[in-house]
Amino acid sequence: MIIKSLQVQNFRNFEMQDFHFAPGVNILLGDNAQGKTNVIEALWLFSACKSFRVSDDKPFLRIGEHRAAIYGEYERNGRVYRPVMKFYDDKSREIFLNNVAVRPREIVGQFPSVLFYPDHLSLVKGSPELRRKFLDLALCQTDPLMLPLLNEYNKVHQQRNALLKQYRERFDAKSALDIWDEKIASLSAKIAWKRHEFITEMQPFAQRVMDEISGGRERLDIVYKTVCNMPTRDMEALEDRFFYALKQNREKDLYSGHTSTGVHRDDFELYINGENAKIYASQGQQRSCVMALKMAEADLLRKATGEYPIMLFDDVFSELDPYRRSYIIERIRGRQVILSCCEDTGDFAEAKIFRIKSGAVEE
């Protein structure tokens, strides 16, 4: 699969710009704050239907404009697909695929890509939220059921939190809370198991990358951490464990007004030769772990779809030492890559270069 072209209209700092990409390496070249990341963001929106920078659509609109749009053209398995997203200042976005209106869950996973941006370099020592986000976005591109599950869970989580705040004013609060606990437990079991399975499947791919980077000296283990021990595949037992944990923490939740138990608090940990990487890994080892995760994500997407995903690198090459940068360069040869950087290092002699300045491509 390749992205053939992208057109942006009133998107971020772009007024109107067309990009026609090569099937190999494409470099977005320019100083900071010129618009390079905006191009990566637009492409990622077609893959994930959400930004890696903001949580709502308003920042997509160019200053002073009331609407914005991005148009893509992809080729996959010999067929051409044209996704479109339109953003407004007074209503929700609209999404189209080949001139047909679609919902987010109908487009997520259609144009798989792997995103690598500076925040990912903090995956090992960063917040659990960052690791959950990485895991869920990767899963949504391979499992069409994941996005609806996450959306439903978020709604139920919010409704339970609202009830916790109203608990003392509602005569039916206890029975209503029991109902929400059952729903959260059921959804938590499904989501936790999907995450656990994904990490289990990712493990050998990540270990292969770690072997190549370390010369076979370092073993990488990925362990999913949830409030409940993961049983063998017994969804009923796992659901019961989540429900019991919710009941056990109810008094604490009533006091705080927030749900303290569920998959919104889960995490995964990385171990190098049995030692927790968050505590003991050097900066170089942390970088290796992140590279292993991102390359494993790409391998899993290829396994799931039969095609290489598009690789999106936003200003990360400058953060890697020469050895790890060279490793990634070799690893991504033969794939379509779109990367942004401030200066051309000469790593990709055959690359197509877009020189970006002030929201426009210089001729």
* Short-list 64, 67, 3, CA closest to 39: 3
Confidence (pLDDT) at 231: 61
Confidence (pLDDT) at 56: 93
Confidence (pLDDT) at 66: 96
Other C-beta atoms closer than 10 Å to the C-beta of 84 total 18
Tokens at residue 254, please? 């009533």
For the chain, the domains span 1-112+307-363, 117-306
1-112+307-363 matches 117-306 in fold: no
Q: For the residues of 178-211, what is the DSSP string, one character each?
A: HHHHHHHHHHHHHHHHHHHHHHHHHHHHHHHHHH
Core vs surface per residue 244-276: b (16+ CB within 10 A) or e? ebbeebbeebbeeeebbbbbbebbbbbbbeeee
Confidence (pLDDT) at 96: 98
Question: Is residue 38 helix, strand or coil?
Answer: helix
Confidence (pLDDT) at 49: 94
Encode pLDDT of 75-113 as tens digits: 998 899 999 999 999 999 999 999 999 999 999 999 999
Encode pLDDT of 56-68 as tens digits: 999 999 999 999 9
- Start-to-end CA distance of the chain, whole Å, equals 27
Strand-strand pairing, 2-11 and 220-225? unpaired
Confidence (pLDDT) at 228: 79
- Which helix or strand (DSSP H or E) is residue 3 part of? strand 2-11
Tokens at residue 16, please? 């109107």
Query: Does the pLDDT at position 363 exceed 70?
Result: no
Confidence (pLDDT) at 232: 65
Confidence (pLDDT) at 243: 94
The pLDDT confidence band at residue 280, using thresholds 50, 70 and 90, is very high
Encode pLDDT of 13-45 as tens digits: 999 999 999 999 999 999 999 999 999 999 999
CATH architecture of 117-306: Up-down Bundle (1.20)
| Average pLDDT of the chain, as a whole number | 93
Give me the CATH topology for the region 1-112+307-363.
Answer: Rossmann fold (3.40.50)
Q: For the residues of 290-346, what is the DSSP string, one character each?
A: HHHHHHHHHHHHHHHHSSPPEEEEES-GGGS-HHHHHHHHHHTTTS-EEEEESS--S
Distance CA 81, CA 73 (A): 6
8-12, 117-121, 321-325: range with highest mean pLDDT: 8-12
